[in-house]
Amino acid sequence: MTRIGWWLAGGCVMSVCLLIPIVMATAGSKSDPKPASSAAELSTIRGLVKATAQATLASQVQGRISQLPFKEGQRFQKGALLVSLDCSKYEAELASVQAEYRGKKKIYDNNLRLAKHHAVGDLELAVSHTDAEKAFASVKVAQVTVNGCTVRAPFPGRVVKMIVNEHENVFPNDQLISLLDDSLLEIELILPSKSLAWLKVGTSFEYAVDETGLRYPAVVQDIGANVDPASQTVKVKGLFRTQPDNVLAGMSGTASFAELPR
């Protein structure tokens, strides 16, 4: 081989040797996992304290409000009377249909006894039975209306807002009172969807409440079922490890996670 040939062969070998580390480094960079979320992203996660249960109750019937036993901010137990309407008209209607039902029922019972002695026709017996059933259905409708005169608490909690006042006249579907159950507060967070690479139910974090200036230990309770495609975020719900006495629903704050993914 000539001197030029040896020189060209040596150059090719050196080129291959130089390329091998570059290729290996490139392959290594592709396989190494990148951090799922940056420290900056996870240090500015804003959140909102929410009650696990809240509701705005509405009237089922028309009537005048006669009682509002609780004021805004006061606590109540499950089943407590929250709103009472004047029910005298509906109670009178209930009494009327109950009396009618008793009369129809007596006629049917009498025809039933006569039928045993073949003293009444089958048609008359069937008609009296139908009349008694219709009267009983009217009683049930009237009873539902009477029950609608009282609004009771579906859960224990506190009154958020009184929407109506005593002596006001309300109609069906008119809002009456807003309430919440603050016995178990939850924290609603919006995290980058990249956090799903390491975020799990049970992950610990701290939640700093703006209004109190204090930090509270918390834990992830639920992770949203879908990612918002527009913002590339996911909704996460957390719980305080110990329910704080000085934190109220509606307070906002910042969540911070102790360990970031490497």
Under the banding of pLDDT at 50, 70 and 90, the label for residue 36 is very low
205: burial class by Cβ within 10 Å (0-12, 13-18, 19+)?
buried
Claim to verify: residue 161 and residue 192 sit in the same structural domain? no
Rounded-to-integer distance, Cα 246 and Cα 99, Å: 56
Q: Does residue 33 belong to any structural domain of this protein?
A: no
Q: Where a domain ends, among 154, 178, 202?
A: 178
Residue 78 lies in domain: 55-178
Cα separations in angstroms, 243 against 45, 78, 214, 230, 254: 21, 20, 13, 34, 17
Q: Does residue 18 belong to any structural domain of this protein?
A: no
Q: Does residue 19 belong to any structural domain of this protein?
A: no
Q: What is the dihedral of CA 35, 36, 39, 44, to 10 degrees?
A: 170
Closest CA to 35 of 258, 198, 191: 198
Claim to verify: residue 43 and residue 123 sit in the same structural domain? no
Claim to verify: residue 173 and residue 190 sit in the same structural domain? no
Q: Does residue 96 belong to any structural domain of this protein?
A: yes
Claim to verify: residue 46 and residue 61 sit in the same structural domain? no
Neighbours of 47 (CB within 10 A): 24
Claim to verify: residue 145 and residue 192 sit in the same structural domain? no
Query: Number of folded domains in the chain?
Result: 2
- 86 CB-near residues (< 8 Å, 6+ apart): 63, 64, 65, 66, 149
Reply yes or no on whether the pLDDT at 249 is more than 50: yes
Claim to verify: residue 151 and residue 252 sit in the same structural domain? no
Report the CATH number that the domain containing residue 174 is assigned in CATH: 2.40.50.100
Q: Does residue 87 belong to any structural domain of this protein?
A: yes
Q: Does residue 25 belong to any structural domain of this protein?
A: no
Q: Where a domain ends, among 131, 162, 178?
A: 178
pLDDT, one tens digit per residue, over 192-223 is 999 999 999 999 999 999 999 999 999 999 99
Helices (H), the chain: 3-31, 39-42, 88-116, 122-147
- State the average pLDDT over residues 187-195: 94
Claim to verify: residue 219 and residue 124 sit in the same structural domain? no
pLDDT, one tens digit per residue, over 44-60 is 799 999 999 999 999 99
Rounded-to-integer distance, Cα 146 and Cα 180, Å: 26
Reply yes or no on whether the pLDDT at 260 is more than 80: no
Q: Does residue 221 belong to any structural domain of this protein?
A: yes
Claim to verify: residue 195 and residue 156 sit in the same structural domain? no
Under the banding of pLDDT at 50, 70 and 90, the label for residue 3 is very low
- State the average pLDDT over residues 7-27: 44
Under the banding of pLDDT at 50, 70 and 90, the label for residue 38 is low
Claim to verify: residue 166 and residue 192 sit in the same structural domain? no
pLDDT, one tens digit per residue, over 70-97 is 999 999 999 999 999 999 999 999 999 9
pLDDT, one tens digit per residue, over 110-120 is 999 999 988 98
Q: Does residue 140 belong to any structural domain of this protein?
A: yes
3-state secondary structure of 6: helix
Rounded-to-integer distance, Cα 41 and Cα 190, Å: 11
Helix (H) or strand (E) holding 54: strand 45-58
Report the CATH number that the domain containing residue 247 is assigned in CATH: 2.40.30.170
Claim to verify: residue 139 and residue 191 sit in the same structural domain? no
Claim to verify: residue 49 and residue 59 sit in the same structural domain? no
Reply yes or no on whether the pLDDT at 37 is more than 70: no
Claim to verify: residue 173 and residue 194 sit in the same structural domain? no
Rounded-to-integer distance, Cα 34 and Cα 210, Å: 32
pLDDT, one tens digit per residue, over 130-169 is 999 999 999 999 999 999 999 999 999 999 999 999 999 9
Q: Where a domain ends, among 122, 143, 178?
A: 178
